[in-house]
Amino acid sequence: MRKIRIASILLLSILVLIGMSENSFAIIDITFEGLQDQEPILDYYNGGFGGSGSGPGPNYGIAFSGDSLAIVSGTEGGAGNFSSSPTMPTIAFFLNGAGDVMDVPAGFTTGFSFYYSSPFYSGEVDVYSGLDGTGDLLASLVLPVTPSEPGTPECPYGDYCPWVTTGVAFSGTAQSAIFAGVADYIGFDNITLGSDVPVGAPEPATIILLGFGLAGLATLRKKI
């Protein structure tokens, strides 16, 4: 009987470890839905609240810097100069500083990916082993200028459309990512942790399209 009991305990321990391992490598998809127009994201994805009181959001253990904002498309009454993002009507952007900081204290592995739109300036995303962009640089993505096709069937509203996917696989455990570009001129959506392909994205993993010129610059946030 004792041997059977010990074997049962060992089996239960193995199953618990497998479950923990699966949770550690779970793919997380951040869509920014549930946040208000121009609301600081803050701890919404840490089981807490956005800067305007939205929440509590999903407890993914993820926090964003204070200059990281959600914005709702003008098609739904928000200030966003975009349409046809992968999970309408809300995306992320920043108005101040060099970019958004995303901290994941528990860490994430395997890969990192997202959609973005930046029709006037290029951007960059760097993944680090420590919090707040510290430690080792594990991966770096240069974000080329994307097309702008306002008024087309695919892009019925705004200058920030279509949306382009990009991603990268890396070794090690990351605790932060820095989303950089020109403030108010780049937007992000469906940030995916644990995969180099964003959730719902078609193959191949990386689709890079080049835009044209800088004439008629339009910010991501509509000026009122």
DSSP per residue, 9-22: HHHHHHHHHHHHHH
Looking at residue 11, its pLDDT comes to: 43
Structure-derived torsion over alpha carbons of residues 178, 183, 189, 192, reported in degrees to the nearest 10: 0
Q: How many percent of the chain have pLDDT more than 90?
A: 74
**How far apart (Å, rounded) are the C-alpha atoms in residues 176 and 88?**
25
> What pTM was estimated for this model as a whole?
0.83
Residue 124 predicted with pLDDT over 50: yes
**How far apart (Å, rounded) are the C-alpha atoms in residues 206 and 210?**
13
Residue 41 predicted with pLDDT over 70: yes
- Which parts of 130-186 are beta strand (E)? 137-143, 164-169, 174-180
Mean per-residue pLDDT for 71-99? 94
- Where exactly are the structural domains of the chain? 28-193
Top-confidence residue, 3 or 168 = 168
Contact indicator for 192, 167 with CB cutoff of 8 Å = yes
- CATH number, span 28-193: 2.60.120.200
Residue 9 predicted with pLDDT over 70: no
pLDDT band at 56 (very low <50, low <70, confident <90, very high): very high
